[in-house]
């Protein structure tokens, strides 16, 4: 779901202008280098009008789609633009999910108490790997 930057040691970005009568898109392809061979690894689609991300496809080494995610309804949440509608399809796994963000709190101050995990009542604390 998240968009990662290019992994420079193994990926080379390449930009495609995919504009026609119906669409105005840029597609940023991340090409995976393996010795003398290269293959598509993933691509990110941008709307040419506002440069918002509209789609991301992640591919396996044989070129089959691992995930195909579409982003829409970009909304300003506390000064941060975020897609309010995210549609994820994972054809190899046989499922998909649609998320609609109704409200999001961004960049709120965090106090130290937010990082304290209290042990639930009625449970026993066990340290993994500790000597007995």
For residue 39, the cross-strand partners are 32
| Nearest CA among 88, 43, 40, 38 for reference residue 60 | 40
What pLDDT shows up at residue 132?
A: 63
Q: Which CATH architecture has domain 11-115?
A: Clam (2.50)
User: Does the global pTM surpass 0.85?
Assistant: no
Q: What is the full per-residue pLDDT of the chain (132 aa) written as tens digits?
A: 678 888 888 888 999 999 999 999 999 999 887 766 666 689 999 999 999 999 999 998 888 999 999 999 999 998 889 999 999 999 999 999 999 999 998 878 889 998 998 999 999 988 887 676
3-state secondary structure of 49: coil
**How far apart, in Å, are the Cα atoms of 110 and each of 16, 82, 106, 119?**
41, 21, 11, 21
What pLDDT shows up at residue 103?
A: 93
What pLDDT shows up at residue 5?
A: 82
What pLDDT shows up at residue 120?
A: 93
């Amino acid at each position: 779901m998240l968009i990662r930057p290019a992994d420079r040691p193994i990926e080379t970005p390449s930009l495609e202008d995919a504009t026609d009568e119906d669409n105005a898109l840029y597609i940023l392809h991340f090409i995976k280098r393996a010795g003398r061979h290269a293959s598509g690894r993933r691509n990110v689609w941008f709307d040419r009008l506002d440069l918002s991300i509209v789609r991301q496809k992640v591919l396996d080494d044989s070129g089959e789609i691992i995930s195909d995610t579409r982003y829409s309804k970009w909304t300003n949440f506390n000064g941060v633009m975020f897609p309010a509608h995210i549609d994820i399809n994972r054809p190899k796994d046989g499922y998909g999910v649609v998320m609609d963000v109704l409200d999001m709190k961004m960049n709120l101050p965090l106090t130290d108490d937010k990082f304290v995990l209290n042990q639930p009542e009625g449970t026993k604390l066990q340290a993994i790997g500790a000597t007995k």
